[in-house]
Chain A
C-alpha cells in the first residue's frame, strides 16, 4: 500500500508542478504586456505614464528576468500567496477566491455526489429491467450529449421564465444583504437550485449509462454464472455484481472531475452565479491575468486533492489493491 500511495503522490506532485508551470508560463510567453494593457484604460499623460509603469512593473516584478520571476512565483505559491488582483486592487487573489469558493462548492459537491449515487442506482436498475433499460438508455444518452451551455439556458428558461418558479440569475436576491436568517437562506437556496439541476442532469446520464454497462458485464461473468448454477437468488447475484461494478465506476469518478468542473463553470456563468466561474469571466473581461492564473492553480490543486481522496476511498473498498500491495498473493 505504501508503494501504491507513493506512486500516486508523486504523480500528484508532478501534476501540480506541471500545472503551475503552465499556468505561470502562458502569460509570460504570450505577446502583450499586462501592465501596458491595464494602463491603456487610463488616459495617462506620457510624462506620468513612464513612472506609473515603472512602479507597477516593480510591484508586479515584470522587469525582472524570466527565471527570477519564476522563482518568485514559486516562492509566493509555497507561502500561500497567489498574488494581488489587478482589477480589484488591492484585494489579494486568495481573498477573491475565498469569497467565491463557497458558492462553487455548494454547487459542485452535491451535484457530483448526488448524480453519482443516483446515476449508479438507475444504471444498475436499468441493467436488470428491460423496460426501464429501454427508456433509460436513450434518455441517458440524450443527457450525456447535451452541452452544459444549452441546459444552462433551457432549464432556467423553462423554470424561471415560462414557469416563474425559480430565479435565473445571481447568488441571492438583489437588494438583500448577506445575513444569516431564513429569508436570506431561502433566497440562497432558490438561486442555487437551477444551476445545481443543470450540473446534475448532464453528469447523471453519463453515470447511469456507465453503471448499466458495467453491471450487465458483471451479471454475465464467471462468478455470477457459478452462483446462478448453484441456485442463488437473482437478488443476491445482483448485489454482488453491483459491488464489483462500483469499483471501476469509482476510478471513473476521479477521471470525470475535470469535465464536471468545466460544466460547473459554464453553469455558473450562464446563471451569473457568484462562484469561481463568474470570477473567471470577470478576470477575463477585466484582463486581470493574475486573478485568472490564481484561479487556475487553485482549481488544479483542488482536483488533485479530490483525486487523492478518491484514491484513499478506492483502497478501502477494493480488497485487491489493499492486499495485493502487501504482496499477499499466493
Chain B
C-alpha cells in the first residue's frame, strides 16, 4: 500500500463553531494507482486533498492518521512535514495559473525550491530540461517570466516543478477545471505518462468532473458533504455504481450522441447539506429516492464487494 488514510477528520475553526469538511475518511491507494476524488463543490474533497500536504493555520485535525509508504505522514507537524513536501508528497494546486511567482524567472523558481530540499539545480538540470520537453514546452521557457506564458503553459510548468523530486504521492487539485475539453485530455494523459514513467507513484485527482476521470483514473472515490459515499475501480463506478448518489450523478450526465428529445435531462433535486451544520445519519438522505428509516444513522463505509466500498444501508441490505 502506498497511501493509507485511516478515519481522518479535519475541521475549520470559525466564529460560529467547527466546520467539518472531512469526516472520518478512510481509504487506501496502491502504488501506481491514479484515484479520482470526485464530488460537488463543498463536498470537502479539496480540503481532504490539501490536508495531506499542507494543513494551514485554520485547519485542525480532529482525529485519524495518514500513512505513506509504510511510515506515518505527520500532517500536523509543520516542520516535520516540510521535508516531506515535494519529496514524498506534492501538489498541483487549483490556482496553478497564479502559483508561480511573477517577478522571478522560471529557472530561479526551480533552483530555489530544489535547494530548499538540498538538491542542486546543476545536478538535475538535464532532467529538468527533459521533462520540460516532455510536457510539450520549449527549453527556453526556463528563461522566461511566468507572465510571458499562457495559462496552460504555466500549468504544465507547475506540474513539472511539483514532480521534480519524484514524489510518492501527487495531489492534483482541479487541474482540468479551467480548461477546454482537448486540453483536459492532454493534461490527463500527461498525468498518466508521469505515472507510467514513475515520476510519481500514485496520484489523487480531485475534480467535480466525472468524465475526465473515466478516461484517466484507475479508481474513483465519491465524496458527499464531508463523507465518503463510494469507492471502486473506474469501470465499476461508471458502469455499475451502487450508491444512490453516484447513480444519480451519472444519470444526470449527458451522453455524447444520444438525443434527449424523448425525455428531460434530470439533475438531482435539492442541495447538499451544509457541512457547518450537517444532519444526523446519512447525509444524502433528504435527496435519496431510496431513503429508509434506518438511514437516520450513518451507514459505515465498508467493502461490500472486493475492492468496492459503499456507505449505504440499502446497498448493504441488498447484498447481504
Q: B84: CB under 8 A from chain A?
A: yes
CB distance from A215 to the nearest CB of B (A): 14
Known contacts being A320-B145, A324-B147, A330-B149, is A230 close to B91, with CB within 8 Å?
Answer: yes
Contacts A227-B113, A323-B145; A233 near B98 (Cβ below 8 A): no
State whether A329 touches B147 (Cβ < 8 A). yes
> What residues of chain A lie closer than 8 Å to B149, measured between beta carbons?
330
Residue A181 interfacial (CB < 8 Å): no
- In the assembled complex, which residues on chain B have CB atoms less than 8 Å from the CB atom of A247? 103
Q: Does B116 contact A (CB under 8 A)?
A: yes
Which of the residues A221, A222, A223, A230 comes within 8 Å of B86, measured between beta carbons? A230
Say whether A231 contacts B85, CB under 8 Å. Answer: yes
Does B168 have its Cβ within 8 Å of any Cβ on chain A? no
B115 vs chain A, min Cβ distance (A): 8
Interface residues of A in 289-330 (CB under 8 A from B): 318-320, 323-324, 328-330
Q: Could you count the A-B residue pairs with CB atoms below 8 Å apart for me: how many are there?
A: 81
Q: Which are the 5 A-B pairs with shortest beta-carbon distances?
A: A231-B85, A226-B99, A223-B101, A222-B98, A230-B86
CB distance from B138 to the nearest CB of A (A): 11
Interface of A toward B, CB cutoff 8 Å: 221-223, 225-233, 236, 240, 243-244, 247, 318-320, 323-324, 328-330
Q: Provide the bound-state CA to CA distance between A229 and B161, in Å.
A: 12
Contacts of B84 in A (CB 8 A): 231
Chain A residues, Cβ within 8 Å of B148: 323, 328-330
Kindly state the separation between the CA atoms of A323 and B81 in the bound complex, as whole angstroms.
Answer: 38
Q: How far is the CA of A309 from the CA of B231 in the complex (A)?
A: 63
Structural contact, B145 and A226, CB atoms closer than 8 A = no
B162 CB–A CB distance under 8 Å: yes
Q: List 23 A-B contacts (CB under 8 A).
A: A221-B98, A222-B95, A222-B98, A222-B99, A223-B101, A225-B93, A226-B93, A226-B95, A227-B101, A228-B54, A229-B91, A230-B116, A231-B87, A231-B116, A240-B104, A244-B102, A318-B103, A319-B103, A319-B145, A320-B103, A324-B147, A328-B148, A330-B149
Q: Which of B98, B104, B150, B162 contacts A230 (CB 8 A)?
A: B162
Q: Which of A225, A231, A323 has the most CB of B within 10 A?
A: A231
Name the one of A226, A233, A319, A328 contacting B82, with C-beta atoms under 8 angstroms.
Answer: A233
How far does the alpha carbon of A319 sit from the alpha carbon of B144 in the complex, in Å? 10
- Chain B nearest CB, measured from A254 CB (Å): 19
A227–B149 alpha-carbon span in the complex (Å): 19
Bound complex: CA of A232 vs CA of B82, how far in Å?
7
A321 smallest CB distance to B (angstroms): 11
Please indicate the chain B residues that have their CB under 8 angstroms from the CB of A233 in the complex. Answer: 82, 116
Chain B positions within 8 Å of A236 at CB level: 112, 116
- What chain A residues lie within 8 Å of B91 (beta carbons)? 226, 229-230
B53 contacts A by Cβ under 8 Å: yes
B8 on the interface (CB 8 Å rule)?
Answer: no
CB-defined contacts of B54 to chain A, threshold 8 Å: 228-229
List B149-184 residues whose CB lies under 8 Å from chain A.
Answer: 149-150, 153, 158, 161-162
Q: Considering only CB atoms, which chain A residue lies closest to B93 in the complex?
A: A226
Q: Does B294 contact A (CB under 8 A)?
A: no
Interface centre among B50, B102, B161 (most CB of A within 10 A): B102
A residues near B100, Cβ cutoff 8 Å: 223, 226
